[in-house]
Amino acid sequence: MKKGILLINLGTPKSPTAKHLRPYLRRFLGDKRVIATPDVIWKPVLELMILPRRPKFSAQMYKKIWSAEYGSPLAYYTKRQAELLQALVPDTVVKYAFSYSEPDISQVLAEFEAQKVTELCIIALYPQYSTTTVGSVSDDVMRFYHKRTYVPNLKFVTSFYENETYLKLLADKIKEYWSKKAYDKLIISYHGIPESYVKKGDPYQAQCEETTAKLQAMLPDIEILHTYQSKFGPAKWLEPATDETIKHLPKQGCKKLLVISPSFVADCLETLYELELENRVYFEQAGGECYDVIPCLNADPEFIELLKDLSEAVT
């Protein structure tokens, strides 16, 4: 028996340029799990309206978070998570992959196959399940094995929002920040999804709300606001929106704000640009005085231990 662990996250462009954003966005926005609009309507919109313009705009945002030292933060931290986990489980083959960029899921699954891994634990790096993320990962894995002669014993971690270690990690980070400054409120911001997906049975909203409820129970003295970010397109998304909430808080007496985003385990465009840079401007322009964003779990040793525990819990 030979064991393997595969960590999977969303992906990232090769560089912060329109040239590399275009194929990345084509793959991402072309996923039916992400955009459920019928192809006859969506493909012309994607190819004729979004891809000719969006890559250049997105590249400017990525340039602001791109590291001169290691490039894409998401790629760097996902790789580090795999490296550190490998050190904890030396007898297990640990790799990482992305849904919409390199290393591709099918490519890395082929590597496990070549190494004759017989037991494979797949951890989708999304604490809360959504069809747009974990559902898409499942599609890619099943598509790879659909016509394979040999299929290893597969174990799939599809969420871990209820995990006590995960919740304690978040609560401890919040307490650490809160003890240093007299914040007025804490915003817990999750990546949003269209309301229509929830109505079709996606449990994401319920799992996000449960995450917030559990954190509130662990932090009874902190006033918490639950919001959703990263809206894309004209469809109605989960509310309240993080940016709109932040714009109104200073007028309501909230001058010092702390923000955390539990739906991300590696810092990325949504945390480093949208939350850290963009929303900071909204808050300060509205009269806010102090605005801090807690980093994602990234390469935190306790998070790496959690990944190890998750892999062992299903094997």
Residue 201: per-residue pLDDT? 98
270 is in an annotated binding site: yes
What is the per-residue pLDDT for 11? 98
Say what the alpha-carbon torsion angle 177, 252, 224, 299 is, to the nearest 10 degrees.
Answer: -40
Three-state DSSP class for 155? strand
pLDDT band with cut points at 50, 70 and 90 for residue 314: low
Q: Is 289 annotated as a binding residue?
A: no
Say if pTM beats, i.e. exceeds, 0.85: yes
The amino acid occupying position 56 is K
Backbone angles phi, psi at 116, to 5 degrees: 60, 45
Question: Six-digit token pair at 234?
Answer: 């004209």
**In percent, how much of the chain has pLDDT > 70?**
99
Pairing of strands 256-260, 290-293: parallel
Q: What topology is assigned to 3-160+301-313 in CATH?
A: Rossmann fold (3.40.50)
Query: What does the pLDDT read at residue 313?
Result: 86
Average pLDDT value for residue range 123-135: 98
Q: pLDDT grade, residue 90 (50/70/90)?
A: very high
Distant-in-sequence, close-in-space partners of 104: CB < 8 Å, separation ≥ 6? 97, 98
CB 311 within 8 A of CB 178: no
Over 90: is that where the pLDDT of 106 sits? yes
For residue 181, the number of C-alpha atoms closer than 13 Å in the C-beta half-sphere is 16
Query: 161-174, pLDDT tens digit by residue?
Result: 999 999 999 999 99
Q: Give the residue range(s) of CATH 3.40.50.1400 domains in the chain.
A: 3-160+301-313, 165-293
Instruction: Tell me the average pLDDT across 150-158.
Output: 97
Q: What is the CATH number of domain 165-293?
A: 3.40.50.1400
Q: Report which of 267, 310, 4 is spatially closest to residue 160, judged by C-alpha positions.
A: 310
Phi, psi of 15 (to 5 degrees): -150, 165
The pLDDT tens digits of the residues spanning 230-276 come to 999 899 999 999 999 999 999 999 999 999 999 999 999 999 999 99
